Amino acid sequence: MNYVKNILWIGLLLSTLGGCTSDSPQTGGWSLNMRSMAESYEKLTPYMFNTKRYSDPKNEKFISLYLKNLNQGASELDQHTAKGLSGNDPLFKIGLKGLKRLIQKANESYFVESYAYSQKLLQASMNHCSTCHSRTNMGPTFMKWDQFDDITAKMEPTDHASLLVATRQFPKAVTVLEEALNSQSMSPQETIKIVKQALFITLKNLNDPQRASQIVQKLQKQRFSKSQNRAFTQWQNYLKSWQNNQGLSQSSLRKILSKQPVLSGNFAKDVHKSLLLHRGLSTEMNKNWRAKIYYALGKMYESLSSFALWNLPETYFETCITEVPGTKQSLKCYYALEARVNSAPTMNLKSPLYNIEKTNLRKLKALATMEPGSASSFGGGSGSEDL
């Protein structure tokens, strides 16, 4: 079983439920629906990853009941509440739309006895959790929510950590990675991969530069190339600045966006920058500055592709284009999107997605290159200002 691809149900329910358990009118319905979905996912888990049990007619009544409950809970989730939780970040809206669609199709497919297809759709519905959790440290941290120790014991440390992130067990995820660094003999490349994942979680989810600094300090005691050691020193220096409140700040976000390139080459600094960019979407009201944030996040996540954030760059580049159509910024985002899409496996002429991708690119190019005055006909922004 591919544990990274099929993140367990717990992450999904805690992803949104964890961030909105308030009793306010705005989030009360959301919380109740997520609790209902949580129960349904829990009941379905033993069948979801077992093809024989999922397709066994003896289990049809049970599975049908909880698929129906799951679909009902998902259909009642309100996208306006999602926007209230995330500001102008498109991740929640896109994730919610995809979640509803997959669960509905899984339910319908099971009803017509297309069991294998239904099972895959149900598994895929849970892939939204780790993406949203990688956005910011919004919501609580759960200290113990691992009911699958017999499974996780056999997993690779990076896969296990990804599962723990999905279930909002951030401290434990970092501990698993630290234990791997202390107990296993691995290549420098493997070590750096684990360290980067540990820093990513420590900084974005725990907001703890001090612990991140301790992880890098251990790394500096090992043997690496001179260039790698220089990079580690840069990480450490920035983490110390962050601890002393001398690093990047939310108040200087526009100044950060005005500087090129988006990526500094300092991993610790860039992770901090991505956190500030996400927070900025919750408060920035100017469309042109939001478009700059979308572009910056797209470029940021291109460099972080190893963290299973595959679709995030496309999401942010497309949102940038529709935010300020007919501007220099939208064209910049289009070229970044075009380069990424053209290098993807789906652009193989034999791929069934080839024509879909090409058609989408043509529409977005027309939007990016249109005359600013006609932007409203596409349903985009005003496009009246270039920055």
CA distance 120 to 324: 37
Q: Give the pLDDT confidence score for residue 183 in this predicted structure.
A: 77
Q: How far apart are the C-alpha atoms of 166 and 276, rounded to whole Å?
A: 21
pLDDT tens digits, 53-97:
899 999 999 999 999 999 998 888 765 555 555 556 666 676 677
Structure tokens at 162: 């990804």
Judge contact between 86 and 282, C-beta under 8 A.
yes
Whole-angstrom CA distances from 99 to 20, 75, 318 are 17, 9, 20
Per-residue confidence (pLDDT) for residue 350, from 0 to 100: 65
Provide the greatest CA pair distance for the chain: 63
Reported as type and span, the H/E element at residue 92 is: helix 90-111
Start-to-end C-alpha separation, the chain: 47
> In terms of pLDDT, which residue wins out, 18 or 195?
195
Mean pLDDT, range 207-220, rounded to an integer? 91
CA dihedral 194, 200, 202, 204 (to 10 degrees): -170
Segment 318-347, tens digit of pLDDT: 999 999 999 999 999 999 999 988 886 656
The CATH number of 9-133, from 1.20.120, 1.20.1070, 3.10.450, 2.50.20, is 1.20.120
- Three-class secondary structure of residue 198 per DSSP: helix
Give residues with Cβ within 8 angstroms of 184, minimum separation 6: 157
Q: What's the CA gap between 106 and 116, in Å, rounded?
A: 10
d(CA 46, CA 122): 13
* E strand residue ranges, 234-288: none
Task: Give the range among 26-40, 134-148, 160-174 with minimum mean pLDDT.
Answer: 134-148
User: Does the N-terminal peptide bond of residue 25 adopt cis geometry, omega within 30 degrees of 0?
Assistant: no
91 vs 98: CA distance, rounded Å: 10
Cα separation, 155 vs 4, whole angstroms = 10
Asked whether residue 30 carries a pLDDT value surpassing 90, the answer given is: no
Residue showing tokens 């991708």: 357
User: Is residue 155 within 8 Å of residue 140, measured between CB atoms?
Assistant: no
Tokens 């509803």 correspond to: 100
For residues 37 and 52, the model is more confident at 52
Determine the average pLDDT of the residues in 104-115: 88
Judge whether 153 and 18 are in contact, CB under 8 Å.
no
Domain layout of the chain by residue ranges: 9-133, 157-243, 250-378
d(CA 325, CA 348): 28
381: pLDDT strictly greater than 90: no
